[in-house]
Amino acid sequence: MKEIALVLLTIIIAPIIGGILTGIDRKITARMQNRFGPPILQPFYDLFKLFSKETIVVSSTQILYAFLFLVFNMVALVMFVLKMDLLLILFVLAFAVTALILGAMSTNSPYSRIGAHRELISVLAYEPVLIAMIIGIYFVTGSFKIDDVIKHNNFLIFELPFIFIAFTYVLTIKLRKSPFDLSTSHHAHQEIVKGITTEFAGPILGLIELGHWYELVLLLLFIGLFFAKNIVVAIIAMLLGYFLEILIDNISARLTWKIMLRLTWSMALGLALVNLIWVYIKYRVL
């Protein structure tokens, strides 16, 4: 019974937090660019407007994919809140992205197809790092279950500093922020229009937007995992981490996918591996 209440609470509260964070993002971004910026609640107004619009589509299957994107993100977040297996959460998260990619590929639109393939390249870039992160956590805490990870008696960040850096690195890709906002940019009309979301409009785009908010909350919770010993520290770390992403977003220009792939596979994966090997030796060999 308690679990059902928790699940419902998560499903209701997460998008509110996600929306507010997005609003804060827009405000901070505006201030960094010497603009006044929209009100904090602007994302909600946007979302309501999207849902009040007429449903227009290129292909009716798009609705399904947008829905799946939302549902998989929701399921992943709920699994996190229920403290389930980290690896399975990651897989579910990967399927959310898969649904979005398939949605973009289902139309014959050149822009959305380019966006879809760029998203696919992003998956290729961040997926190994994310799994490496989970394995690192496993070596330190001896469990894949969030339940046990939270009970660990130390801050994970002390054991996994490099993995944390690698994670914040790929977080930029996962949040689709500059310099890695290849598949879709959230800053107006750019080189590939809106990439993966080009062909989505109205309520269907609204579903995707909502999915993004769940995704955002989940990814920030992953940051919190590294500081899980103390809840206050964890929240501060999550907010700081988010601010850092906004900062990077505003001070960098977009890179090409080749550079992204090379950088993540050498730098981020390299850092993660170094960390992984030392915790392996520490906890498994010694």
Partner 1 sequence: MEYIYLSLIFIPIIVAGLIYLFNNSTFRKAIVFLMSAVLVVLMVFAILQGDKEVKLSHALNFALEYLITFADYFLLAVIFLIGLKLKNNLISLLAALQFVLMFVFEFRAGKLEVENVFYVDHLTFIMLMLIDVIGPLISIFALNYMDEHEKHLHLEKSKQNIFFAVIMLFLGAMNGLVLSNNILWVYFFWEITTLCSFLLISHDGNEQSIKNATRALLLNSLGGLSFVVGIIFMYYKSGAIALSEIIRSQDSSILMIPIAFLALAGFTKSAQFPFQSWLLGAMVAPTPVSALLHSSTMVKAGVYLILRLSPVYIDSWLSNIVAILGAFTFVAAALLAIFQTNAKRILAYSTISNLGLIIALSSVANVYSIYAAALLIVLHGVSKALLFLCVGSIEQGIGSRNVEDMDGIKYKMPIVAFLTLLGSVSMLLPPFGVLITKWIAIEVSTQNIVAMLEIILGSAFTVVFWTKFIGKILSEGKDTKRIEVFEGLRHLPLITISILVILVSVFMTQFTNAFVVPFFKSSFARYSGVSSRALKDLYIKDFFGFNPFVFFGILALAVVVGVILYTLLRPKRYVKVYMSCENDDNFSFRAEKDESVELEFKNYYFETLIKESNITLISNIISVALIAIMFGVILK
Q: Which residues bind partner 1 (CB under 8 A)?
A: 54-61, 63-64, 67-68, 71, 75, 84-85, 87-88, 91-92, 94-95, 98, 101-102, 105-114, 116-117, 120-121, 123-124, 127-128, 131-132, 135, 138-139, 144, 193, 198-199, 203-204, 258, 261, 273, 276-277, 280, 284
CA 52 – CA 135 distance, rounded (Å): 44
Specify which residues 85 forms β-bridges with. Answer: 145
Shortest reach from residue 272's CB to partner 1, in Å: 10
Lookup result for tokens 């139309």: 107
Helix, strand, or coil (residue 276): helix
Q: In one letter, which amino acid is 235?
A: I
Lookup result for tokens 């992984």: 276
Structure tokens at 158: 């002390």
| Burial (CB count <10 Å: 0-12, 13-18, 19+), residue 14 | buried
**Residue placing its CB nearer to partner 1 in the complex, 16 or 147:** 147
Shortest reach from residue 109's CB to partner 1, in Å: 4
Specify which residues 193 forms β-bridges with. Answer: 190
| Burial (CB count <10 Å: 0-12, 13-18, 19+), residue 204 | buried
